Copies of this chain bind each other. A is one copy, B any other.
């Protein structure tokens, strides 16, 4: 059921909603001027996401306020998992390996990751 896939653009808008809790097209535009989209464009995207069940909305006076129906963690999980399926045959460790091999991590990162792994092992 939780197969939520958002495009980059869609994600960047919903991201603002996650941060704000809820918001109108205008709110998003003001909190993220870098997006540089006409407010009507933002409205269109939001409406489409509502139609897809990603958001819900309610009227607050003249403004339509959107609320995410799914959590950021949920979407991340689903999108990462999707990529892992496509690129690594579902093997998450393979993605890990890819990350390690392909990018030299900083020493600090390495230490941090190891700590994470240790904690995971304990629990």
Q: Which chain B residue lies CB-closest to A113?
A: B96
- Residue from A83, A105, A110 with most neighbouring chain B CB atoms (10 Å): A83
Q: Is A109 an interface residue (CB 8 A)?
A: yes
A79 to B102, CA, bound (A): 13
Known: A8-B86, A79-B87, A114-B117. 10 other contacts (CB 8 A): A11-B87, A80-B95, A92-B99, A92-B105, A93-B112, A96-B109, A100-B116, A105-B120, A110-B121, A113-B117
Chain B residues near A114 (CB, 8 Å)? 114, 117
A102 to B81, CA, bound (A): 10
Query: In the bound complex, do residue B98 and residue A80 qualify as a contact, i.e. CB atoms below 8 Å apart?
Result: yes
Partner of A79 from B77, B83, B92, B100 at Cβ < 8 Å: B83
Q: How many copies does the complex hold?
A: 2
Q: Is the interface of A mostly helix, strand, loop or mixed?
A: helix
Query: In the bound complex, do residue B93 and residue A109 qualify as a contact, i.e. CB atoms below 8 Å apart?
Result: yes
Query: In the bound complex, do residue B102 and residue A120 qualify as a contact, i.e. CB atoms below 8 Å apart?
Result: no
Q: Is A101 an interface residue (CB 8 A)?
A: yes
